[in-house]
Amino acid sequence: MILERHELQLHGHRVSYRTAGSGPALLLLHGIASSSETWERGAALLCERFTVIAPDLLGHGGSATPRGDYSLGAHASGARDVANALGQERVTVVGHSLGGGIAMQFAYQFPERTERLVLVSSGGLGREVHALLRAAALPGADYVLPALTSRPLVGIGRGIGGLLGRVGLEPGGDLGVLARGFASLDNPGSRQAFLHTVRAVIEPGGQRVSAGDRLALAATLPTLIVWGERDSIIPAAHGAAARAAMPGSRFEVFPGAGHMPHDDDPGRFAELLTDFYETTDGARLEHDHWRPALGDPA
């Protein structure tokens, strides 16, 4: 089954999304400089069992690129609004890379809407992140991006990958993922949205946002963590550490896969996600579920 692309207006902005299937709702959130297309191969299999909803985050894919808030909280609110618009009160939220950070924020902000949490090569679980993404947080990146994403380079899908090749780094594997992401930033709006999003979560020294102090709060939320063994953008050690900090969570590593395990092996990903859903009971949390765990005010 092919995911069908649609558009809706949220708060005056165009939001593109893909959807298909029927059954319990999966809300799939992509990574930075990516789009809902990243889920296409796995979602085509998941549609046989679930209603799949995969939005393009604001500033990405076919969605608008407004001036505004590109924080994790804003993206989480936008994801909730897409689910609302499509009549989905409760979802299993699945996030890849940046989308993983948004998924965790979604679960924290809207526990009453979240049945399960699935983190795929997720951001927000440790400091380390690829040097090219750290570089995007540097002063002056605003002036470098247009050169890396100029029309002649983008026209053949090379972007930064072409520059990497000149210094002996072939843009295959995870470098290819980064190259395609940079190549998608082919207009001023998408470049500014990318920079605002990067700088909300990354600084030159690494990831600046960490969910580490809140992971124990997820003890009552069924959680699946998926990683590629050879992920060079965000190391798999982050997933292992998160597993240890999240009682009852499940951690699965895809041998030989990089930063995109759901795309490297979509069949296994769909089977794993389906098994996780069918062997867990969806959480039934209240909107103030976290309050007792936060301690009494001084």
Q: Just list the catalytic residues.
A: 97, 231, 259
Q: Which helix (H) or strand (E) holds 228?
A: strand 223-228
At 275 the three-state DSSP class reads: helix
Sheet holding 51-55, edge to edge: 4-10, 13-20, 51-55, 25-29, 91-96, 114-120, 223-228, 250-254
Residue 121 phi, psi (nearest 5): 45, 55
- C-beta separation of 33 from 183 below 8 A: no
Specify which residues 90 forms β-bridges with: none
Longest Cα–Cα distance in the chain: 59
**Dihedral (CA of 215, 217, 219, 222) sign:** negative
